[in-house]
Amino acid sequence: MAQTTKDKTELDVPHWLCRSFFEQFLRRDFENFEKISKLEVLPTGGNGENYTTVLLRVRLEIQLKDGKQATTSYMAKILPASPTSQQLVQSWKVFDKEHNTYSNYLPEFEQMFRDAGKEITFGAKYYKIQNSGLENEAVILEDLGNSGFRNIKRQDGMDKEHTQATLEKLAQFHAASAVRYERKGEYPDLYDRNLLNGEDTAEFQEKLAKSLISCLPLYEATHLANVLKEYTAVAPDMYQSYAPRRENEFCVLNHGDAWCNNIMFQYDDNGRIRDTYLVDFQMSRYCSPAQDLIYLLLSSVNYDIKVDKFHYFIQYYHEKLTESLKLLQYPKPLPSLKGLHKAIFDNSEWVYPVISLLLPVVLMDSSEEANMDTIMDNDSNADFRKTMLRTPRIINQLKTLLPWAHNLGFFEASSVSPYRK
């Protein structure tokens, strides 16, 4: 059914997202809950803020058994309205992965730190859906906005303070996942890849590469045309590829989609960062932490410090990672800073998809066309992809990032790792 919000925006809200559905969560949060007086479904942002799934805020006015009134809200992550996108998202098994991470691994990781004397929360409170058969269609979470959490403006990127806060939380998450692996063994096959359906994306990859190469004059990088043609002809679809297993490589459970819209910050009265939460655990993958580092630093750090402080941020992450590994009594030799820098090079195939696909999405303005269908459609949306690649923000950044990546050897076709789908 469609519901009309205060700003008159029509939402495609599934029929089951109703009062009776939310009673199970309200009974957990309010011991004397009696009934729901009002339910309102609101959008959480414009197009361009969420792509894989739709995120809605559900605001509830409730009556308690003592006659008092209360107001609360939840976040509901649901399938997109488009049948094509629904089918694609379900084939990726993102809800399966997210339910498992929220219900099993996050509580376990937090308990590991608690046992070591440190109180850490990684993300929003998770609400298990009871007896509804909707586990593959929705994830229900605490509304972090009620606690003052918010995102930065994605087009501006994170400054040094926000980047360091994010890297510290990622380092803690990674450390706990590495220690858990040593204690309990491998993670399920669900975490072998970011996305699980194995769909043939060769045509999409080819058209994206052509769009980027056609825009090289805007980036003052026409000299890279042949380099990128050769590289993109052999570059894997990193989102669907299995990570290669390298001898003695330090591996962790990566967040998998660590860009600024999936990081939320809480501030004190003086505007300083009090806490940092990770959200959207639907693409986690067990591999080198280089994946999360490349993904975050190239997509979401402010342009003025993105390249200049890239190596500093790797060092800062390493410092926080080893600090947490020691605290949690990691039983193996600690990963070295030199080894972490080597891992960036060994996993540099992530650089191209981040700067050619993710970064344009991060930097573009909100748009009615900004959704999964328009980005993934091979037939009709080349113009939209070119529009993303021609915005002043992306032009400014790619003038720096393309030669930077080329000079580091990140576009060498001969050095592409043997990824498999």
Would you kindly state where each structural domain of the chain is located, as residue ranges? 2-78, 87-125+146-415
Per-residue pLDDT of the chain (421 residues; tens, 9 = 90+): 223 334 334 678 899 999 999 999 999 999 999 999 999 999 886 554 555 789 999 999 999 999 999 999 999 999 887 777 787 888 788 889 999 999 999 999 999 999 999 999 999 999 999 877 787 789 999 999 999 999 999 999 999 999 999 999 999 999 999 999 999 999 999 999 998 776 678 888 999 999 999 999 999 999 999 999 999 999 999 999 998 788 899 999 999 999 999 999 999 999 999 999 999 999 999 999 999 999 999 999 999 999 999 999 999 999 999 999 999 999 999 999 999 999 999 999 999 999 999 999 999 998 655 555 556 655 555 677 888 999 999 999 999 999 999 999 999 999 887 766 5
pLDDT at 92: 81
- Widest distance between CA atoms in the chain: 73
Report the SS3 class of residue 10: strand
One-letter identity of residue 172: Q
List, in order, residues 6 or more apart from 283 with CB less than 8 Å away: 52, 94, 97, 194, 195, 239, 255, 256, 257
Give the per-residue pLDDT at 7.
39
The pLDDT value given to residue 417: 79
Element (H, E) at 126: strand 126-127
* Helix and strand counts by DSSP (H, E) for the chain: 16, 11
- What per-residue confidence (pLDDT) applies to 238? 94
Rounded to 5 degrees, what are φ and ψ at 138? -160, 155
**Could you give the 3-state DSSP secondary structure of residue 417?**
coil
Taking the CA atoms of the chain, what radius of gyration do you get in angstroms?
22
198: left (phi over 0), alpha (psi -120 to 50) or beta: left
The H or E element containing residue 231 is: helix 225-234
Tell me what pLDDT residue 5 has: 39
Angle (deg, nearest 10), helices 310-327 and 290-300: 140
What integer pLDDT is reported at residue 11 of this predicted model?
Answer: 74
Cα separation values, 305 from 166, 278, 313, 391, Å: 15, 22, 10, 20
pLDDT at 3: 34
Phi-psi map region of 161: left, alpha, beta (phi>0 left; psi -120 to 50 alpha): alpha
What SS3 class is residue 306?
A: helix
Indicate the class that CATH gives domain 87-125+146-415: alpha beta
